[in-house]
Amino acid sequence: MRDPYGRKINYMRISITDRCNLRCRYCMPEDIENIPAREILSFEEILMVCRAAVSLGITRFKLTGGEPLVRRGCSELAGKIRKIPGVEQVTLTTNGIGLKKNLPALLESRIDGVNISLDTLDSEQYRQITGRDGLTEILDGLEAAVWAGIRVKVNCVMQKGVTEEQWPYLIGLAKEHKVDVRFIEIMPIGYGREYISLSAQELFSLIAKRNPNILSDKTVHGNGPAVYYRIPGFLGSIGFISAMHGKFCSRCNRIRMTAQGDVKPCLCYEESISLKPVLRSGADDREKFRQLRGALYQAVMKKPDQHCFEQLQKITETHKMIQIGG
C-alpha cells in the first residue's frame, strides 16, 4: 500500500523484546527499567498482526529488540512468519551474542538475513562499550552465518572520540567475507542525544582516501536506505545510512511496532497507534483481523512527509530506542 505521499510501504520492523544481554551506552545503560513481561505481545499476537499487515501489502519483516535472540522461541517465530502466505522476507537484527548457538534453528526457519551490530574489533574497547566480553563469540557467529549461506550485514556506529579509528578494521570484514559493512549515523533518540557519530560524508572521505578506486554499487541489498559502494578485491560492500546528513525520507518504506504493540509511523515523533486493545479484546479472530487491518492502515496514513532530526527542538519522541525497537 502507499502512504499519503505516494511511498510504497511494504516493510515492518517488529520488536519482540526490550531485554538485551549487552549494555551499550548509547542504547541501554545499566539503570534502565524493563517493560513488565505481561505488557509484551505474545508470539500469537505478533503473528496475528503480521497476517493483517500482509493483507495490506506489507510483505517484509525484520525482528528486532532489545536483543531478539534472548527471547525463547525467536527462531520459531521467524519461521512461522515466513510461512504466512504472501510473506517475501524475514530478517533479524542481533548483537551477535548467541547467533552461532541459534544458527541451526534460524536456518530451519528459513531466515533470509541477519544484521549484526558491531562497533569495534578491539576486544577491550568492545567490553567497555557493551559491558561484557563477547567479541570472539560474535565473530564466530558471523563466520558461521556466512558459511551457512545467510546474508549478513554488519551495522557500525563510529562514535567520535570512541570508535572513530575502527573503520579500517571493520571494512576489513567486507574484504575477507561476503558481508555488507554499513556505517550508521546516531539518531538523536533517547540516549543517542548524548553521543555524536562521524557523518557518512566524513567516513566516505576517509575510506575513499585510502581506497581511491572505490565504486558506487547500485545492487539492491535489502529493504533499507543504505547507499552502497564496492572496493575492488573486497568480497562484500560498504554502506552508509545517513539519517542525519542525508535525509532519505522520500524513500521510506516502513512502519515499526514496539514490543508492547505500539505501531509507529516515524521514529522522530511520539505518535503511535496501540494494537494491544484490539489484540486483547473479547472479539473473535475475524473481528480482530478487521480491526488490526484498519489500525495498520491508519498508521501508514499518519506517516509524515519527513523526520526533523536536524531540528532537535521539533523531535517529540521521548522513549529510548530500546523501548521502541532497533
pLDDT tens, N- to C-terminus, the chain (326 residues): 999 999 999 999 999 998 887 776 666 666 677 889 999 999 999 999 999 999 999 999 999 988 999 999 999 999 999 999 999 999 999 999 999 999 999 999 999 999 999 999 999 999 988 888 899 999 999 999 999 999 999 999 988 888 999 999 999 999 999 999 999 988 766 655 566 778 889 999 999 999 999 999 988 888 888 899 999 999 999 999 887 676 788 889 999 999 999 999 988 787 899 999 999 999 999 999 999 999 999 999 999 888 766 666 666 665 665 566 66
What percent of the chain lies above the pLDDT cut of 90?
68
Domains (range + CATH), the chain: 11-324 (3.20.20.70)
Helix (H, G, I), strand (E, B) or coil at 110: coil
Do residues 187 and 244 make contact, with C-beta atoms less than 8 angstroms apart? yes
Q: What angle do CA 78, 34, 243 make, to 5 degrees?
A: 65
Q: Positive or negative CA dihedral for 44, 45, 47, 51?
A: positive
pLDDT value of position 196: 74
pLDDT value of position 197: 78
What is d(CA 218, CA 205) in angstroms, rounded to the nearest whole number?
19
Give all strands (DSSP E) within the chain, no chain letters: 11-15, 60-64, 89-94, 113-117, 151-156, 179-184, 215-217, 227-230, 238-241, 254-257, 262-264, 273-274
pLDDT value of position 294: 98
pLDDT value of position 236: 97
What is d(CA 108, CA 46) in angstroms, rounded to the nearest whole number?
20
Do residues 261 and 324 make contact, with C-beta atoms less than 8 angstroms apart? no
pLDDT value of position 312: 61
State the CB neighbour count (10 A cutoff) for residue 199.
18
DSSP secondary structure string, 1-47?
-B-TTS-B--EEEEE--S--S---TTT--TTPPPPPGGGSPPHHHHH
